[in-house]
Amino acid sequence: MTFQRQSGLSIVELMVALVLATLLTVGLFQIFNSNNLSFRITEATARTQEYGRIASEILGREIRGAGYFGCNIENVVNNLDDTDEAFDADAHEFDIDAPISSRNADRPAGAVAGTHFIRFSGMENNGNEISTVGPETSASIEVDERGGLQVDDIIAISDCTGTDIFQISNIQQGGGGGAEITLVANSGEDDPGNDFTDNGCTNCFSNNYGTGAQILRPYNRTLYVGTSNVTGERALMRLVPNQAPVELVEGVFDMRGRMGTSNTANNPVNNWTESTGAVNWNNVRAVEVSLLVRGGDNNLFDGAQSLCFPRWADCDGGPNFEAPDNRLYRVYNFTMNVRNASR
> How confident is the model over 290-300, as pLDDT tens digits?
999 999 888 88
Return d(Cα 179, Cα 159) in angstroms, integer. Answer: 23
Amino acid making up residue 175: G
101 Cβ contact list (under 8 Å, min separation 6): 95, 118, 119, 279, 281, 284
User: What gap in Å lies between CA 69 and CA 340, rounded to an integer?
Assistant: 9
pLDDT in tens, 64-74: 999 999 888 88
Task: Name every residue whose Cβ is closer than 8 Å to that of residue 166 and which is 6 or more positions away in sequence.
Answer: 79, 80, 139, 154, 155, 156, 157, 185, 194, 205
pLDDT at 147: 77
Cβ contact 61:238 at 8 Å: no
What are the residues whose beta carbons fall under 8 Å from the beta carbon of 200, sequence distance 6 or more? none
**Are 190 and 171 a contacting pair, CB within 8 Å?**
no
Q: How far apart are CA 123 and CA 117, in angstroms?
A: 20
Contact yes or no for 80/48 (Cβ under 8 A):
no
Q: How far is the C-alpha of 24 from the C-alpha of 121, rounded, in Å?
A: 65
How buried is 105 (Cβ within 10 angstroms: 0-12 exposed, 13-18 middle, 19+ buried)?
exposed
CB atoms within 10 A of CB 28: 10
What pLDDT is attached to residue 38? 77
In terms of phi and psi (left: phi > 0; alpha: psi -120 to 50; beta: otherwise), the region of 223 is beta
CA 9/CA 112 separation, integer angstroms: 68
225 and 237 in contact (C-beta within 8 Å)? yes
The predicted structure's pLDDT at residue 2: 63
Cβ proximity of 164 and 206 under 8 Å: yes
Q: For the chain, what are the domain ranges?
A: 11-65+251-343, 70-110+122-219
Q: What single letter denotes the amino acid at residue 207?
A: N
- CA distances to 23, 37, 246 from 26, rounded to whole Å, are 5, 16, 48
Residues listed for the chain: 343
Question: Distances in Å between the alpha carbon of 76 and those of 95, 112, 159, 207?
Answer: 11, 35, 10, 10
Name the helix (H) or strand (E) containing 39: helix 11-65
> Which residues of the chain have a pLDDT value below 50?
176-179
